[in-house]
């Protein structure tokens, strides 16, 4: 008897897994600007998170370059509990892919939006583990350059995984300009928005913005455009509010640490993530 179900459906109406090389794509987990992320299995039933670049245009060299750069960087830095695990990457049937460990998790932005108790109950550990992840990335010789709540995954037992290394670059010996000025404006440091030379301390600024947002529910420098955000970064009298005025439960030492991350001049921020990690741990009595 022949089924009337479409080719991608079984007789019961369930969508069939799609074979992709040695993998079976079971479920679409997320869809980003240039890639889709699938829950995938292999022939042994092992589960993976598989990120596949969309074939939007054969001439879109920038997307391909960024995707492959993210794969290469992750392959070099993934040996850390707070960084997503790398399995492999390559090209199958003309499609570039990255295979990673699969974790059941939501990102920090999603957790905050739904007021998830895992965030409220573990915010201190999340702040520390996120800092440890960034420290590891920089110790391996890279800048993340897109650190923000969307790129920090948190599992139900509050394990952290830093993801998305498409914009990562080698850490320079001294500040240097970047032709493509990568990042998300709300989390970018003033020197990036001004298109001036920068170094790993822009990650420290981004960490400060993310920590402030996580603890207060708002970004420290509100703006609809990069120029508006920059104006408020440079003139703190416009509407900048110290975090403890928005959340009195924040320890004074932690506020001091966040404010140091958010300094306009890179020289006034933490020189290295290791020093920041030390102060965050001390502020949270770890």
For residue 99, the surrounding DSSP H or E stretch is strand 95-101
Cβ burial of 177 (10 Å; 0-12, 13-18, 19+) is exposed
- Among the options 42, 116, 139, 146, which is catalytic? 146
Q: Which residue has the tokens 């990255």?
A: 98
d(CA 116, CA 12): 35
Quick one: average pLDDT of 164-180?
92
Structure token digits, residue 25: 């794509």
Question: What fold is seen in the domain 18-101?
Answer: Phosphorylase Kinase; domain 1 (3.30.200)
Residue 5 above 50 pLDDT? no
Which ranges in the chain are annotated with CATH 1.10.510.10?
105-283
d(CA 229, CA 127): 24
Residue 186 above 80 pLDDT? yes
d(CA 225, CA 87): 38
Which ranges in the chain are annotated with CATH 3.30.200.20?
18-101
- CATH class for the domain made up of 105-283: mainly alpha
pTM beyond cutoff 0.95: no
d(CA 75, CA 69): 10
Residue 199 above 90 pLDDT? yes
Active site residue 279: no
């Amino acid at each position: 008897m022949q089924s009337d179900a479409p080719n991608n459906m079984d007789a019961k109406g369930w969508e069939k897994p799609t074979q992709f090389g040695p993998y079976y794509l079971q479920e679409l987990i997320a869809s980003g600007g240039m890639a889709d992320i699938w829950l995938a299995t292999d022939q042994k039933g092992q589960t993976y998170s598989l990120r596949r670049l969309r074939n939007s245009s054969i001439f879109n060299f920038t997307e391909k370059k960024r995707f492959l750069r993210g794969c290469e960087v992750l392959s070099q830095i993934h040996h850390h509990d707070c960084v997503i695990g790398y399995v492999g990457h390559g090209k199958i049937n003309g499609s570039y892919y990255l295979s990673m460990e699969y974790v059941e998790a939501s990102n920090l932005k999603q957790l905050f939006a739904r007021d998830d108790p895992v965030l409220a109950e573990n915010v201190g550990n999340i702040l520390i583990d996120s800092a440890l992840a960034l420290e590891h990335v920089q110790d391996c010789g890279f800048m993340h350059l897109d650190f923000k709540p969307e790129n920090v995954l948190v599992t139900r037992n509050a394990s952290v995984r830093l993801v998305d290394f498409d914009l990562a670059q080698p850490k320079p010996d001294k500040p240097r300009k970047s032709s493509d000025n990568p990042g998300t404006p709300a989390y970018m440091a003033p020197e990036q928005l001004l298109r001036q030379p920068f170094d790993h301390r822009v990650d420290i600024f981004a960490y400060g913005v993310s920590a402030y947002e996580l603890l207060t529910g708002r970004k420290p420098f509100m703006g609809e455009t990069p120029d508006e955000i920059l104006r408020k970064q440079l003139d703190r009298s416009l509407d900048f509010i110290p975090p403890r005025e928005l959340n009195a439960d924040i320890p004074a030492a932690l506020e001091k640490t966040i404010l140091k991350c958010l300094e306009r001049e890179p020289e006034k921020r933490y020189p290295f993530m290791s020093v920041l990690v030390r102060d965050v741990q001390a502020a949270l009595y770890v």
